[in-house]
Amino acid sequence: MTDMMSPTVSFVRPTVIEQKTPPFRTSGPLLWARENLFSSPLNMILTLLSIGAVWWVVPGMVQFMLIDAVWSATSSKDCLADVVKHPVGACWGFITARFGYLVYGQYPDAERWRVDLFFALEAFGIFWILWRKAPFKISGFAYFFLVFPVVGFILLSGMASIGLPTVQTHYWGGFLVTIVISTVGIVASLPIGILLALGRRSSMPIARLVSVVMIEFVRGVPLITILFMANVMFPLFVPEGWRPDSLLRVLVGVGFFSAAYMAEAVRGGLQAIPRGQYEAAQALGLGYWQMMIKIILPQALKIVIPNIVNNFIGLFKDTTLVAIVGIFDFLRTIQASLADPNWRSSQMPLAAYLFAALVYFIFCYGMARYAISVERRLATGNRH
Amino acid sequence: MSSSHSALSALRPGVLTNEKAIEITGMNKWFGAFHVLRDVNLLVKRGERVVICGPSGSGKSTLIRCINRLEEHQQGSIIVDGTELTADVKKIDEIRRDVGMVFQHFNLFPHLTILENLTLAPIWVKKMPKKDADEIAMHYLRRVKIPEQADKYPGQLSGGQQQRVAIARSLCMSPKIMLFDEPTSALDPEMVKEVLDTMVTLAQEGMTMICVTHEMGFARQVASRVIFMDQGQVVEVNTPDEFFKNPQHERTKLFLSQILH
């Protein structure tokens, strides 16, 4: 050190300086609180306000949803304060009593195991795809995008030749329909959306024109319009007896709707890939599809996973719109149950809609958390 | 073991069937209204090492990018090993398979491991069994002296290592001709040598090469000819000795006085 002090110009370090640990503790709950909650006067005020808000809302919620709640009931009478002898909060008994209808709609009781199996197969496929360290990833995608849709369709609508009685789609309802519509939307929109995005960036004028018209048309009208067109106008133009199933028409509409939005998300990813990647692939002699499938799309899709999941969340919530064309999705079955004279009471909708909100929240929040974890993983720089 | 031997013994460097590796005649190219390449004539013979230099914007990169059709020329002809480059996609693919290219910014595929970067084209373009492709990839990784990095991702390697991987990636396709587009310009000074050494070895083995580079030491050491370009034209062509000692054109003299201090 004294060398540095002396006025000499030349300096050669004789030894290597070893790494040392930093002098301050950089972790611990107190430090976390100081950095995240009380880092500035404004943050302090916000923190205190938030604590106040929680204090103000949570006890009432707990009282209503848990303490004063009625857990089993056979009709709205069981949820009257006079009957249960204490102030009544949420009447969960309504949900438990109508649970089967909310999940399966009017799907025949004896066949409901098929719906359960369908749910299980879907959950299995989703975990296979989303769980990062799962083995045989490619097979997972093949399963979810090829095998599962076919098996799921046969399972739900039946096939007489293998002993599964046919169940017409107008018996389907409740959560089943919500899941079917959002799954079809997701499964169809990703491949179609990718094709549309590639078409829009293609050098072939026709492919570009078709893609642009398709994307811009769909993005230019609300989903409700498409659903009305599918369910009300479409039958006017096709001959009697050649009318596809009403649920199928809605599924096609939803599929194209979400595909257009997916295309725009994917296009964003394609634009983010540097030109050098295309050139390196071309210089190696890869053809267009090889280049896209092996080099460009894996990178582009990875970038836009958060946007894609965002679209899925939007799609999942938009499925409630099918109620207006007469399809009994989850929310619609809740409304229908509320109209049941046996359950008519001013108390009932509170619990019913709380339950609906909770179910939608769990699914959407789950998807959002997954998107955030992917985003974090990509941000840490280990570009894999 | 026996099959891995066969993969390597089947491996032979690409051999040009024609004496004329690349023949460019009266070639013109425009970017919009800008005349970027003007009446370029160039004959590269089998085994020749041509260095192209010149100020930035002189069209050197564009010229070699035309040779594997990353850029399209509008007039004149480019014949690569007897095959003329036209809009025919099959011919373009054929030529690209035979012509390797190394870029200034490496352009490795960041989502694939080093080994996967090397085996991708042999497996998908040449339909080579994966085992053979792996064997050949490891062979070239040893040649560029980084076999231990095979399972890493490009982002984990230094610039010099990445560029050597890029060279190995091209070599895995057994190219007949190698194009280098300023391969050392994006490298830290300490890493230039390791890449140049790889290129020198390649040149000494008789690879037909065209290098856009400002590494005059490299040009002196391996080039058969040096081409100087300015404003989209070939201004001077000469042997490296003559080029450096006795430049003819005024523009060449000025350029050399700027870069050789």
Q: Which two tokens stand for residue A128?
A: 């296979």
Return the CATH number of the domain spanning residue range A110-330: 1.10.3720.10
Average pLDDT on A236-260 reads: 83
Q: What is the DSSP letter of B100?
A: E
Work out the minimum CA distance from B164 to partner chain A, whole angstroms: 15
What integer pLDDT is reported at residue A25 of this predicted model? 63
DSSP helix/strand/coil, A111? helix
For B111, the closest chain A residue by CA position comes to A384
pLDDT band per the 50, 70, 90 thresholds, residue A24: low
Mean pLDDT, residues A238-248: 76
Q: Answer yes or no: is pLDDT of A380 > 70.
A: no
- pLDDT by residue (tens digit) across A175-222? 999 999 999 998 889 999 999 999 999 989 999 999 999 999 999 999
Tens digits of residue pLDDT in A222-241: 999 998 888 887 777 777 77
Nearest CA in chain B to A276: B107
Q: Residue A105: which of A345, A258, A312, A322 has the closest Cα?
A: A322
Q: ipTM value, please give it.
A: 0.92
pLDDT of A340 above 60: yes
pLDDT at A235: 76
- The confidence band for A384, taking pLDDT boundaries of 50, 70 and 90, is very low
**Chain B touched by A302 (CB under 8 Å):** yes
pLDDT tens per residue across span B148-169? 999 999 999 999 999 999 999 9
B93-115: average pLDDT: 94
- In the predicted model, what is the mean pLDDT of chain A? 87
What share of chain B in percent tops pLDDT 70? 95
Total-model pTM: 0.83
Cross-chain Cβ contact B96/A280 below 8 Å: no
Chain-chain contact of B153 with A294 (C-beta, under 8 angstroms) = no
Q: What per-residue string of b and e applies to A302-335 under the rule 16 or more CB within 10 Å gives b? A: bbbbbbbbbbbbebbebbbbbbebebbbbbbbbe
Element (H, E) at B99: strand B99-102
Q: Which of B111, B171, B180, B182 to mutate to test the interface with A (most CBs of A within 10 A)?
A: B111
Integer Cα distance of A168 and A170 in angstroms = 6
Under an 8 A CB cutoff, do A295 and B173 touch? Answer: no
Q: What is the pLDDT of residues A273-285, one digit of tens each?
A: 999 999 999 999 9
Measured between CA atoms, how close is B97 to chain A, in angstroms?
5
**Of A25-39, A62-76, A104-118, A255-269, the least confident:** A25-39
B93: nearest CB among A279, A285, A384 = A285
Half-sphere exposure at residue B70, Cβ-oriented, CA atoms within 13 angstroms: 24
Closest-CA distance of chain A to residue B152, Å: 11
**What sign does the CA torsion over A37, A38, A41, A44 have?**
positive
Residue, of A315 and A160, whose pLDDT is higher: A315
Probe site for chain A from B112, B114, B124 (most A CB atoms < 10 A): B124
What pLDDT does residue A215 have? 94
Specify the higher pLDDT residue, B23 or A383: B23
Q: Out of A276, A282, A294, name the one closest to residue B124 (CB).
A: A294
Q: Searching chain B, which residue's CA lies closest to the CA of residue A289?
A: B124
**In the structure encoding, which two tokens stand for residue A66, read together?**
């848990």
Residue A133 confidence (pLDDT) above 90: no
pLDDT digits (tens, 9 = 90+) for B186-244: 999 889 999 999 999 999 999 999 999 988 899 999 999 999 999 999 999 999 999 99
pLDDT at position A348 is 84
Q: Mind giving me the DSSP string for B144-197?
A: TT-GGGTTS-GGGS-HHHHHHHHHHHHHTT--SEEEEESTTTTS-GGGHHHHHH
Domain ranges of chain A: 28-65, 68-107+331-377, 110-330
Give residue B4's pLDDT band: very low, low, confident or very high (50, 70, 90): very low
The answer to whether the Cβ–Cβ distance between A280 and B103 falls below 8 Å is yes
CB A299 within 8 A of CB A275: no
- B155 has a chain A CB within 8 A of its CB: yes
Q: What is the 3-state secondary structure (H, E, C) of B26-74?
A: EEEEEECCEEEEEEEEEEEECCCEEEEECCCCCCHHHHHHHHCCCCCCC
Strands B177-181 and B208-212: parallel
* Residue numbers in A near B111 (CB within 8 A): 298-299, 302, 383-384
pLDDT at B2 over 50: no
Verify whether the Cβ–Cβ distance B105 to A381 is below 8 Å.
Answer: no
Q: What pLDDT, on the 0 to 100 scale, is given for residue B139? A: 94
Calculate mean pLDDT across residues B34-62.
Answer: 93
Instruction: Mutate one of B106, B109, B128 to test the A interface: name it (highest A CB count within 10 A).
Output: B109
Cβ pair A283:B111 closer than 8 A: no
Mean pLDDT of chain B: 91
Interface touch A285/B100, C-beta < 8 Å: no
Q: Which amino acid is at B183?
A: P
**Mean pLDDT on A237-249:** 77
Q: Determine the residue type at B230.
A: D
Confidence check: pLDDT of A382 > 70: no
Are A276 and B105 within 8 A, CB to CB? yes
A20 touches chain B (CB under 8 A): no
Tell me the residues of chain B between 108 and 137 that have a Cβ less than 8 Å away from chain A: 108-111, 120-121, 124-125
Q: How many inter-chain contacts (A to B, CB under 8 Å) are there?
A: 65
| Range B1-19 average pLDDT | 66
Chain B residues whose beta carbon lies within 8 Å of the beta carbon of residue A290: 124-125
